[in-house]
Structures are given as C-alpha cells and as structure tokens.
Amino acid sequence: MLTNLYIELADRYSDMQVKYSFTFDDRLISQFNIDKEFELKEKEHLPFEEYSVFYDKLFFEYKNEKLGNVTYNFRDD
C-alpha cells in the first residue's frame, strides 16, 4: 500500500513539474513580447528566416537574463 502511494505521489509531482514548466514558459514569452516590443517591431520587416534568427537570439539572451535573477537566497538567511 505504501509503495502504491509513493508511486502515485511521484507521478503527481512529475505532472506538476510539467504544468509548472509550461506555465513558466508562457509567462516568460508573454513578458518577453512586452519588454522587447520595440526591438521586435523594428525588425518585423525582415524576411521570416532572418526574423526568426533575430527573435531566437533575443529571446535566448532574455531568458538567460531572467533565469539568472535570484529572487530569494535561502542560504543568506
């Protein structure tokens, strides 16, 4: 019985990780489009391939910047 409970708990945890990941990605993309609206509009005249490369590069830099922010540091408390 305890084994079944543990397996179910592990499955639910895995599902929550996936849901959190999708939610986080959606928020990150939405915020990126808001924060980088000016830069994106400046380049929207480019052909699709060039715009995609520009968008991907700008998003990669933005994502790394946001993921690098430490919102709370438990070790210093």
Token couple for 25: 């990605």
> Rounded distance, CA 33 to CA 58, Å?
11
pLDDT computed for residue 38 by the predictor: 96
pLDDT computed for residue 76 by the predictor: 62
Per-residue pLDDT band for 2 (boundaries 50, 70, 90) equals confident
Mean pLDDT over 35-54 rounds to 95
| pLDDT value at 59 more than 90 | yes
> Rounded distance, CA 59 to CA 35, Å?
11
- Give the burial class of 7: count Cβ atoms within 10 A of its Cβ; 0-12 exposed, 13-18 middle, 19 or more buried: exposed
Mean pLDDT over 31-59 rounds to 95
